[in-house]
Chains A and B, each alone.
Chain A
Amino acid sequence: EAQVTQNPRYLITVTGKKLTVTCSQNMNHEYMSWYRQDPGLGLRQIYYSMNVEVTDKGDVPEGYKVSRKEKRNFPLILESPSPNQTSLYFCASRASGGRELFFGEGSRLTVL
Chain B
Amino acid sequence: AQSVSQHNHHVILSEAASLELGCNYSYGGTVNLFWYVQYPGQHLQLLLKYFSGDPLVKGIKGFEAEFIKSKFSFNLRKPSVQWSDTAEYFCAAHSSGGYQKVTFGTGTKLQVIP
Residues of A within 8 A of B (CB): 33, 35, 40-45, 48, 50, 90, 92, 99-101, 103-106
**Additional A-B contact list (20), CB under 8 Å, known A42-B104, A99-B32, A100-B46:** A35-B104, A40-B106, A41-B106, A42-B6, A42-B90, A42-B107, A43-B44, A43-B107, A44-B104, A45-B101, A90-B43, A99-B49, A99-B100, A100-B34, A101-B46, A101-B92, A103-B36, A103-B43, A104-B43, A106-B42
As a 0/1 sequence over residues 75 to 114 of chain B, the CB contacts with chain A under 8 angstroms (1 = contact) are 0000000000000001010100001111011110000000
Q: Which residue of B lies closest to A101 (CB)?
A: B102
Residues of B within 8 A of A (CB): 6, 9, 32, 34, 36, 42-46, 49, 51, 90, 92, 94, 99-102, 104-107
9 residue pairs from A and B, CB less than 8 Å apart: A40-B9, A42-B6, A43-B107, A50-B99, A99-B34, A100-B49, A103-B43, A103-B45, A104-B43
Task: Return the 4 tightest CB-CB contacts between A and B, nearest first.
Answer: A42-B106, A43-B104, A103-B43, A103-B44
Which residues of the partner chain B approach A48 to less than 8 Å between Cβ atoms? 101
CB distance from A37 to the nearest CB of B (A): 8
A44→B42 CA distance, assembly (Å): 17
Judge whether A43 and B43 touch: CB under 8 Å: no
Judge whether B90 and A43 touch: CB under 8 Å: yes
A50→B99 CA distance, assembly (Å): 9
Judge whether A105 and B42 touch: CB under 8 Å: yes
A92→B92 CA distance, assembly (Å): 14
Which residues of the partner chain A approach B9 to less than 8 Å between Cβ atoms? 40
Q: Which residue of A lies closest to B91 (CB)?
A: A42
Which residues of the partner chain B approach A40 to less than 8 Å between Cβ atoms? 9, 106
CB distance from A80 to the nearest CB of B (A): 27
